[in-house]
Chain A
Amino acid sequence: MWFDILPSFWEGTKITIELTLFSAVIAFFLAFAAGFGRLSKFRAVRLLAATYVEVFRGTSLFVQLFWIYFALPLFGIMLPKMVAGVLALSLNAGAYGSEIVRSTLISVPKGQSEAAIALNMTPWQRTRLVILPQALVMMLPAFGNLIIELLKGTALVSLITLSDLTFVATVLNSSIMRPTEIFSVLLIIYFVISLPFTKGIQWIEHRLSAGRY
């Protein structure tokens, strides 16, 4: 029966969750840096941020991961699998996240920053006390979706032989050849890991839309 294979997935599950969490934290910082960067008043900063975002959104995570793991060594940069995985995942998610940050920042009504200016706030106070608190709330559902995309993306690291959930499953399959059970269990594990995020997003969206209609 299928439950005898469950314990074999444990180590892989840990790696997958670790990868997701590490990358999510780094991606979060990158998203803010690039999101604010694209709205900077300095042209050079805007250009740099836009280049980063377009390059990482213009190619897929798969290509980026393979480039970092297989092509970088020719420049003398040899990264361990885990580092290459986290780097590719967080750079990719950071680029998508920056679009979330940028679009919510510009969607805060203009009157808010005008009022802050009228109250003689410094630009830093304006961002920290007026704009960000309102933008952050709006970002939450989108960031939740991004984490689910990130979790799904971690499956790709199995292709550079990092022993995550998917890798464990493919190895197990080649030794015991029970694809139906193995891949069904694998899909269900991913679904279960994503469940807290999907439910969280629904809850937040529900809270945010309360009183709107």
Chain B
Amino acid sequence: MWNWEYAIKILPEILKALKITISATFVAFVVALVVGLMLTLARRSNFKPLSLFAGGFVGFVRSTPLLVQLYFIFYVLPEYGLSLTPFVAGVIGLGLHYSTYLAEVYRGGIESIPPGQWEAAKALNFSTLNTWKKIILPQSIPPVIPVMGNYLITMFKETPILSAITLVEIMQTAKMLGSHSFRYLEAFTIVGVLFLVLSYSSSLMVRRLEVRLNLR
């Protein structure tokens, strides 16, 4: 059954791997934020092939498993001379997958802008770039920040999948510890509790942020 002595012995090693998990989460989140915005803008483009491509990409990525997408990036790209480290491949895969979710979040924010804002920008002779930069985006992003925060938490929870392409993050560390000692209970339970505590506490923070934003 549960062995406290062993659990305490492996805890530092698991905590050390948490650093990789957290840095992978944040780098992937930045990828998702940037690509997500590009996808949203591409979908709204007047240039038909571009908007069709963006729409098709979002639909395809959203209905296929992240694990398979990671395999694709990690095993197929080297065939064409592009070998990626597990970290880079993982961050790209996770980031691209969630960029399609964030694209919807941006879209929601942009569509909630009253048409009068667009008309005013036009009346004041703003260029397309300035309309987006100075009027539309500054108003559409703040209200959706809590939703983005929730996706950050979701991505954090999904990082264990990166262990499938041999990235040594917290889950992979737990697997290795388990296979050395043939005791998976402690390692996997510690990982589960860590994820639960971190993601639950951050979701409470997001909820607080949401209340603050609504008050304003």
Contact B66 A66 (CB under 8 A): no
A residues contacting B by CB (< 8 A) are: 54-55, 58-60, 62-64, 66-67, 70-71, 74-75, 148, 151-156, 158-159, 166, 169-170, 173, 179-180, 183-184, 186-187, 190-191, 194-195, 197-198
Q: Is B72 part of the binding interface, using a Cβ–Cβ cutoff of 8 Å?
A: yes
Instruction: List, sorted by A's number, 7 A–B pairs whose CB atoms are closer than 8 Å.
Output: A58-B195, A63-B160, A155-B68, A169-B68, A184-B76, A190-B63, A198-B59
Residues of A within 8 A of B76 (CB): 179-180, 183-184
Decide if B64 touches A70 in the complex (CB within 8 Å): no
**Which chain B residues lie closer than 8 Å to A60 at the CB level?**
157-158, 160-161, 195
Asked whether A186 and B68 contact (CB < 8 A) given A62-B158, A67-B189, the answer is: yes
- The 8 A CB mask of B39-71 against A (1 = contact, 0 = none) is 000000000000000000001101111111101
Q: Judge whether A152 and B185 touch: CB under 8 Å.
A: no
Give chain A nearest CB distance to B128 CB in angstroms.
27
Least CB distance from A155 to B in Å reads 4
Task: Decide: A63 and B184 in contact? CB cutoff 8 A.
Answer: no
Q: Is B110 an interface residue (CB 8 A)?
A: no
Please name the residue on chain A nearest to B73 by beta carbon.
A183
Q: How far is the CB of A54 from chain B (nearest CB, A)?
A: 6
Docked Cα-Cα span, A152 to B164, in Å, equals 15
Given A54-B200, A71-B185, A152-B65, answer yes or no on A63-B192 (Cβ-Cβ < 8 Å).
yes
CB pair A59–B195 under 8 Å, yes or no, is yes
Name the contact of A190 in the complex, choosing from B65, B75, B183 (C-beta under 8 A). Answer: B65
How far, in whole Å, are A179 and B2 apart by their CA atoms in the complex? 42
| Contact flag A152-B1 (CB < 8 Å), given A58-B195, A60-B160 | no
List 20 additional A-B contacts (Cβ < 8 Å) besides A70-B185, A183-B72. A58-B199, A58-B200, A58-B203, A59-B195, A63-B171, A66-B175, A74-B1, A74-B184, A74-B185, A152-B63, A152-B64, A156-B161, A166-B65, A169-B71, A179-B79, A183-B68, A183-B71, A183-B75, A194-B63, A197-B63
Residue of B nearest to A181 (CB): B76
Is B67 a contact partner of A155 (Cβ separation < 8 A)?
A: yes
- What is the minimal beta-carbon distance from B61 to any residue of chain A, in angstroms? 9
